[in-house]
C-alpha cells in the first residue's frame, strides 16, 4: 500500500512540475489587443470604436523602475495613455480606467487612477513628446509612489497601494496613433545610493499660499468663497535681463477662471491677486483686463480659457542695469500711483504721446504680456 501511495505522489509531483513549466513562460509574455508591435513601435489596429491596449511582459521592479513612450503620431484624436496595470488587465479598457491601475492620458493631460473619470494632472502631449512612468519603492505603509514625466521633466506623482506587481501599459483609441516604446529607459539616479531624483519644482517658488505644486503643475487649494480666498505663487527670483519671460498653460479653468499672471514686489500680500495692490501689474484671464496697483482693471486683451498659453515678460532698455544685479529682490514697482500708458496691440490703437504725463524718477521698462504667444499689449512701468 505504501508503494502505491508513493507511486501516486510521484505522478502528482510530475504533473505539477509539467504544469509549472507550461505556465511559467506565459507569465512573462506581453499581452496586446487591437495593437500591432513592430520592434519598439506600437500602432493602433482597430476601428476607433474600441480601445487597444498593450501590457509589457515584466513588471517594474527595483532593477527596472522606469519606462518611456515617445509619441510618433497622435492619429485622429491622440487618445494615448501611458501607465501601470496588473498583468491580467482587461485589454479593452484604457490603462487607469479599472481598479489597481493608473495612467497619464496624453489627449487631456489628466490622471486616471482606477476610474473612468480623470483628474487634472499635467499638460497635454502631442507628436514628438516623451511620456515616462516610474516607481519609487521607498514609501512606507505599503504604499508605492508612481511618478510621470514629460520630455524628461517630472509632471507629478501619487501614491498607490502596493498590492500586486504593476506592468507598463500603453493604451490607444483612434486611427493612426503610433508610439515608440522604450522599456529600458533610465531615470536620473544619484550615484551614492541609487535613489531616484524627483524634482517637485518647489524650490523655484519663494512663496506659496493656498497653492499646491506637483511637478510643473500649480493647483489652487483654497476655499474660493470670498474675495480674500486668493492663492498666490511667487517665484523665488525676479525676472532679469537674462531670464526676462515666463508663461503658463491653463490646464483647467475651474469654475470662473480667476487666474492672473504678472509681476509683483517680493512682500506682496498673499491674499491679493497680482495687480490689485501697489507694486504689482497683472493680466487677468477671466475678463482680459490689465490691473496695475488697483482693484479696477482696464480693458486690455481677450479672455483666456482652458488650453490657452499666457505669458509675461520685460523688454529691458539696452542700457538697463540694476545696482544689485540679478540678486535684487525686485525693482521699485510701487512708484506708479496709476497705470502709465497701456499699449494694446490687438484691441486698441493707442497713439504714442511722449508729452503726456509726468516723468517719474527711475528707469522705465516695458512689461509685455502674451496670449498663445501673440502679444495683446504692453505697458511701460518705471
CATH classification of the domain holding 144: 2.60.120.920
Burial class (CB in 10 A: 0-12, 13-18, 19+), 304: buried
Residues 276, 141 share a domain: no
User: What residues make up the domain containing 74?
Assistant: 31-189
Q: CA 307 to CA 322: how far, in whole Å?
A: 36
Q: What is the pLDDT of residue 229?
A: 86
Residues 172, 215 share a domain: no
Of 159, 189, 219, the position where a domain reaches its end is: 189
Residues 169, 42 share a domain: yes
As a residue count, the chain comes to 382
CA dihedral angle for residue 210, residue 295, residue 369, residue 361, rounded to 10 degrees = -110
- State how far the alpha carbon of 124 is from the alpha carbons of 80, 204, 260, 291, 373, in Å: 11, 22, 21, 30, 17
Q: CA 55 to CA 210: how far, in whole Å?
A: 39
Of 173, 189, 205, the position where a domain reaches its end is: 189
Q: Is residue 114 part of a domain?
A: yes
Q: What is the pTM of this model?
A: 0.49
What are the pLDDT digits (tens) for 180-231?
A: 999 999 886 443 333 333 444 556 777 888 888 877 788 888 888 887 789 9
Residues 209, 174 share a domain: no
Of 189, 216, 232, the position where a domain reaches its end is: 189
- State how far the alpha carbon of 187 is from the alpha carbons of 95, 123, 174, 183, 325, in Å: 22, 20, 30, 12, 36
Q: Is residue 379 part of a domain?
A: no
- Report how many domains make up the chain: 2
Placement of cell 507694486 in the chain: 279
Q: What is the pLDDT of residue 69?
A: 97
Q: What is the mean pLDDT of each run of 10 residues along the chain (382 residues)?
A: 64 64 58 94 92 95 92 94 95 96 95 94 93 83 88 91 91 95 79 39 75 83 83 88 86 88 91 91 93 91 89 83 49 42 42 39 58 65 60
Show the beta-strand stretches assigned E in 166-214: 167-172, 177-182, 205-209, 211-214
Q: CA 247 to CA 182: how far, in whole Å?
A: 31
Burial class (CB in 10 A: 0-12, 13-18, 19+), 80: buried
Q: CA 164 to CA 30: how far, in whole Å?
A: 17
Three-class secondary structure of residue 169 per DSSP: strand
Amino acid at each position: 500500500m505504501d508503494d502505491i501511495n508513493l507511486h501516486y505522489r510521484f505522478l502528482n509531483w510530475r504533473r505539477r512540475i509539467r504544469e509549472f513549466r507550461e505556465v511559467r513562460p506565459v507569465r512573462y509574455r506581453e499581452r496586446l489587443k487591437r495593437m500591432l508591435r513592430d520592434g519598439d513601435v506600437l500602432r493602433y489596429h482597430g476601428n476607433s470604436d474600441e480601445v487597444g491596449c498593450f501590457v509589457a511582459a515584466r513588471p517594474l521592479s527595483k532593477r527596472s523602475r522606469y519606462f518611456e513612450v515617445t509619441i510618433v503620431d497622435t492619429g485622429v484624436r491622440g487618445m494615448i495613455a501611458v501607465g501601470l496595470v496588473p498583468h491580467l488587465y482587461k485589454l479593452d479598457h484604457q490603462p487607469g480606467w479599472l481598479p489597481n491601475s493608473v495612467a497619464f492620458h496624453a489627449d487631456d493631460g489628466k490622471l486616471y487612477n482606477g476610474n473612468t473619470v480623470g483628474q487634472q494632472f499635467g499638460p497635454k502631449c502631442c507628436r514628438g513628446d516623451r511620456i515616462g512612468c516610474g516607481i519609487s519603492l521607498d514609501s512606507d505603509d505599503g504604499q508605492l509612489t508612481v511618478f510621470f514625466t514629460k520630455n524628461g521633466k517630472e509632471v507629478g506623482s501619487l501614491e498607490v497601494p502596493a498590492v500586486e506587481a504593476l506592468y507598463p501599459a500603453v493604451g490607444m483609441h483612434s486611427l493612426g496613433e503610433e508610439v515608440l516604446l522604450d522599456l529600458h529607459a533610465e531615470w536620473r539616479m544619484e550615484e551614492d545610493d541609487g535613489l531616484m531624483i524627483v524634482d517637485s519644482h518647489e524650490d523655484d517658488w519663494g512663496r506659496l499660499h493656498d497653492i499646491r505644486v506637483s511637478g510643473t503643475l500649480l493647483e489652487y487649494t483654497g476655499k474660493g468663497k470670498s474675495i480674500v480666498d486668493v492663492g498666490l505663487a511667487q517665484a523665488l527670483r525676479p525676472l532679469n535681463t537674462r531670464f526676462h519671460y515666463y508663461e503658463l498653460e491653463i490646464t483647467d479653468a475651474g469654475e470662473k477662471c480667476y487666474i492672473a499672471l504678472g509681476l509683483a514686489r517680493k512682500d506682496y500680500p498673499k491674499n491679493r491677486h497680482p495687480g490689485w495692490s501697489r507694486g504689482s501689474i497683472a493680466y487677468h484671464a477671466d475678463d482680459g483686463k490689465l490691473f496695475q496697483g488697483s482693484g479696477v482693471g482696464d480693458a486690455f486683451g481677450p479672455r483666456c480659457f482652458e488650453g490657452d498659453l499666457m505669458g509675461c515678460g520685460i523688454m529691458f532698455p539696452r542700457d538697463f542695469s540694476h545696482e544689485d544685479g540679478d540678486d535684487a529682490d525686485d525693482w521699485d514697482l510701487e512708484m506708479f500711483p496709476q497705470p502709465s500708458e497701456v499699449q494694446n496691440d490687438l484691441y486698441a490703437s493707442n497713439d504714442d504721446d511722449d508729452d503726456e504725463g509726468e516723468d517719474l524718477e527711475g528707469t522705465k521698462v516695458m512689461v509685455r504680456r502674451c496670449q498663445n504667444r501673440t502679444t495683446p499689449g504692453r505697458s511701460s512701468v518705471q
